Amino acid sequence: MIIGLTGGIGSGKSTVAHAFETLGASWVDADIVAREIVEPGEPALKAIIDYFGEGVTKTDGTLDRAALRALVFADPTKRLWLESVTHPKIRERIIKQLSHLSQCSPYVLLVSPLLFESGQNTLVDRSLVVDVPVHIQLSRTLARDNVSNEQVHAILAAQLPRDQRLAKADDVIDNSGAHAHMLRQVERLDSYYRTC
């Protein structure tokens, strides 16, 4: 079984995925795959440079993610173009990794911040939303990432609103409280997923 684990920025998706991993589940992180497909030598990176120019690369030839993020979140048409180039490549690589891991794990998590927005939910059997209130998303993201308040709001605007994400969820983990509370929810869902 494949579980799509999602949540808004700053919700704690990776923390929850690591908790499932300690119980024996494997996982694929769509963000890591997204970074892999734009590494030097990858066709997606060449397409991005052709479209945006050399200003989106660092001196070592790698993608300057902060520069690209500023461009695409300032202009929705540029973000849509970028997604049209990267999402099919991300999807193809995710499918390969999920197929491989499902052979040796009781269930596999697909950790994706854009599970519903990107259509990756069609790859999963159940969707699990890690939920926190928006003010917690903002404070965690500003404390963790090197982004401005405006960039965080732009990222939030590009993601499915909280109420819509929750409406699409098969399962929900409330990650706004103590770490031990989150772990108890993970343990309960782990037991359930193993019996499905």
pLDDT of residue 168: 97
pTM of the model: 0.85
pLDDT at 20: 98
In whole angstroms, how far apart are CA 105 and each of 18, 26, 69, 108, 154?
A: 14, 6, 35, 6, 36
pLDDT at position 149, please?
82
CA 46, distance to chain mean position in Å, is 23
Task: Note the pLDDT tens digit of each residue in 89-124.
Answer: 999 999 999 999 999 899 999 999 989 988 999 999
CA dist., res. 12 & res. 15, Å (int)? 5
Instruction: Tell me the per-residue pLDDT of 65-76, one tens digit each, with 9 for 90 and over.
Output: 989 988 998 898
